Chain A
């Protein structure tokens, strides 16, 4: 069982040697290094995506997106009744059928829908919905509502189960903090805010790398002889704090070079909206164009907690979402990568059906999800939840979100879902065969 550590060390040393030789590494050499994985791992290893593997992009809508004003049941009297100032007029809604349609600002997404590149999953949620932001976000990200304080997420468990541990690029999260969803036990994916800040800023990179190179011997010398408390399990299989830090530093260096290069080289005419969300998607598209071996990207759009004055704010967020996802899709089409990238949107909960006294809505439950990409089986999945048969004023879910995850894991990423989600959920018809 010493092989994972020693292969990693080998990998890091080879990586370091290459870095010392040249500031950038040709992609084919990268692949060679990736191939140094422990052969015992091979059975469960998914190959780096390279030029043809499938990619999943998660778009988190933080704060609790008002799903009822995203996929709008315009023909339902109950909708207009309970939302006197928040309901969108039927004639402005972008109609999907004779009952419901998309938010007026989602025209760019409606075009994708009409073009057969988008599915809407209706009424997604889970039993006994929690209305706390933190808790419900934990539940969506861990996909383990039974665990009170989860420490890993569904995508992290996917990495653990299906990807080899030597590749730091398997997951990339754009943002200040690593989302729980991406945290695994074995694998630490990458996270960064902006490519240009994701690098070591010291003057002497070569010496820095030498100082962060893992040694063969234990890096800290025994400093004292008091007591006899060294843990017996330590050593061969357990990575020391020093080794862990060295590994992370090497991962950061290898990836920051590649990421900066990919982000700098990518040119696109796709009309991304201004602001953080558009920039994040542009970065992801650049990394995909740069052939990073990343299987899952994670971006966020925040500001959905619309307790008061929802109308203008939510309209503006829908605008960002629609423009962002359609520009992203256009970018991928230019690259020829449209068919290998799938986008999934989610939020920790929807909002209360009835508007409140402040022209906003309070925390709710079930809400729709969007699945976008060339590989999508287009259309509407599931029934729109009833606006009159409610649970404490909130929509009841028809689709368990873990069914969506299971479908994406099995039919898109081609990984078994049961070890990741704990049980076999019913698959949905979301992916083209």
Chain B
């Protein structure tokens, strides 16, 4: 086992991807930032002593405390507090967790659905392929944000109002996921068409390997690179989409606020001068999306030899 791991490690160390990674400061910095954000968001209970959703721990006396470095700031609230006296940093981290959960789930949903349809469409071709591709065509003409809004609107009509808040997060994941799958389907179909015509696939067919195994053992690993790039960029898009929907008031409810909800709630205080309530969640969101995009951009340049 040990020797096997070693060779895998050596392979990684020898690979061009690793080389280009350690040569790219932006890739390293964005990865570090992302790791910190992921860690702090998922282990937020251990990172901050405050729980913004425990009413007993809140005091309205603390409401609207500005950031600690300003004149009226308090050292215990680094980024200040909001209208209910909740610590901004803790609120943001809890919100970021929701945003990340929604983002990741939506992308994984879109990825699995898109790759499954794209791979099979590219492999089998014929009428099935045509139907899948027409479907993506039609859906791609409907911008993702509109698609998500629509799904959300329909869900509101179907699900009763009381249930809706509980279901909101699932509806959101579904809405964003469904708006992103065509990208994955197109990319994986295009890549499958290229791979399908390569001789190693013919060789397996001639040997007698079944279609299912050819698709998942042979083709799938070979189309993962572009899918991964789309997935990374898609993650940023999903997080932004979630924030946007929540900002528009059709995303997660204020009881479990995501970054977008926080920005929307803070926006009301912008004109009265409490800028930090909306500013910090917004900056946090931008840093998060920017880091993911930087990483995705680097991945695209590295994994796409055509443009080097």
Do A and B originate from a single complex?
no
Interface residues of B (CB under 8 A from A): none
Which A residues lie at the B interface, using CB under 8 A? Answer: none
